Amino acid sequence: MREFSEEELERYSRHIILEEVGIEGQEKIMNSKVLIIGAGGLGSPIAFYLAAAGVGEIGIIDGDVVDRSNLQRQIIHTTDEIGIPKVESARRKLKALNPNIRVQTWQIMINAENISRIIAPYDFIIDGTDNFAAKFLINDACVMAGKPYSHGGILKFAGQSMTIKPGESACYACVFDQPPPAGSIPTCSSAGILGAIAGMLGTIQAAEALKVITGVGEPLYNRLLSFDAKSMNFRTVKFTKNPHCRVCGGEGVKILREYEQPICEVNHAQNP
C-alpha cells in the first residue's frame, strides 16, 4: 500500500473518512488515469473535480482556443486567457489546484486516425464534446478498446448522461443507433444553453468516473439519466444491451470511421 504524506492525508481527508472510499479508495484514485475529451462547458467542472480528487493523471484533448463567448459556461478559462489554447488554460488551473497530479494535453481534435492511440493509456474516458460525430466516434473507439467511459450531452436547459462498460453494458449505439439527420437538431449557437447546466452535468460525469475508479456505488450502466433544469425534474430510463448493435453486438466494430459533420456545434464544436 502507498505511503501517504501528511500533505496528502490532509488534502484528501474528506475522501479518506468516507467508509466506502477510505485509504484504499483514495489510493485507487491517485493511481488512475482519466482522459477528458473537450475542455469546454462539460470538461471544465469534470477536470476541476478530478484534479481536486487527486486523479493521478488527467489527459485533456481540445484543438480550440479560448473565446469570449466560452466564458459564460466554460469556467476553467478566464478573460485574460482569451486567444490561448484551451488545453493550456486548463492545465494551468489544474496544476495550481493540485500540483501533485500529472496533466497531459493534446491541442488537436479527435478523429478516427488518432483516437485509439490517445485513449490507450487511460483507465476511463469522458466525453465532453457537443457534436454527434465526436460522440459516436468516442463510443466506437472505447468499445473497440474495451475502455469504460462516460457520455454526456447538454442543450438549452437539459442534460443527459450514461456510463458504458464495453462487453458488459449497453453502449451509446445500443440506444442511439445513428446520428440524427442534418438539420434535425437545433445547434448550440442557435438554441443556446444556460451556463449552469454544463456544471450540473459535468459534476455528474466526474462522480461517475470516481465511482468506477473506486468501485463505489452503481454507475449509470444500462441507464440514461436525463434532467430538465426548468422544472428540476430528473429521470432515469433503463435499457438493455442490444445483441444486434452494429458497434457492440455480434462481431462488433473492427474499423473506426468518421461520422457526418457535427449537428450541434459552436465554432469547432468539441466543447459545449
Instruction: Say how far apart CA 247 and CA 171 lie, in whole Å.
Output: 8
Report yes or no: 212 and 205 within 8 Å, Cβ to Cβ. no
Whether 264 is catalytic is no
- Look at residue 23 in the predicted model and tell me its pLDDT: 97
CA 56 to the chain's CA centroid: 16
Query: Is 7-238 a CATH 3.40.50.720 domain?
Result: yes
Catalytic residue (choose from 188, 245, 248, 264):
188
In this prediction the pTM is 0.94
- Look at residue 263 in the predicted model and tell me its pLDDT: 45
What's the alpha-carbon Rg for the chain, to the nearest Å?
Answer: 18
Consecutive 10-residue runs of the chain (272 residues): their mean pLDDT?
A: 94 98 98 98 98 98 97 98 98 98 97 98 96 94 98 95 97 90 60 94 98 98 98 97 93 87 43 54
Alpha-carbon dihedral of residues 38, 40, 42, 48, nearest 10 degrees? 90
Q: Quickly list DSSP for 171-218.
A: -HHHHS-SPPPTTSS--HHHH-B-HHHHHHHHHHHHHHHHHHHHT-S-
Instruction: Say how far apart CA 236 and CA 62 lie, in whole Å.
Output: 30
Strands 158-164 and 149-155: antiparallel
- Look at residue 69 in the predicted model and tell me its pLDDT: 95
Q: Where along the chain do its domains lie?
A: 7-238
